[in-house]
Amino acid sequence: SRKGNCHDNAPVESFFSLMKRECLNRYRINDLSGLKELVNRYVQWFNNVRISRNTNGLTPVEYRNQAMVA
């Protein structure tokens, strides 16, 4: 995409905003390995457990699988 196209960045910026609010601001992080583990657990939770109204109460993985079947 073109440089500076804000619409390309919106989904990623939204995800990072959620990650900061739901995860990073709630825990004390002492080192890089702790940060990596926390981010990996959050991404796993986000994709497989966390439901969203935007996806009709489905997790992102469920929503993607449903879209692929249709």
- The whole-angstrom separation of Cα 13 and Cα 9 is 6
Amino acid identity, position 49 = V
pLDDT, position 70: 82
CA-CA distance, 22 to 15, in Å (whole number)? 10
pTM of the model: 0.79
The mean of the pLDDT values for the chain is: 90
How does pLDDT run across 35-53, given as a tens digit for each residue?
Answer: 999 999 999 999 999 998 9
Share of the chain above pLDDT 90, in %: 73
Instruction: Report, in this order, helix, strand and coil percent for the chain, each rounded to 5.
Output: 70, 5, 25
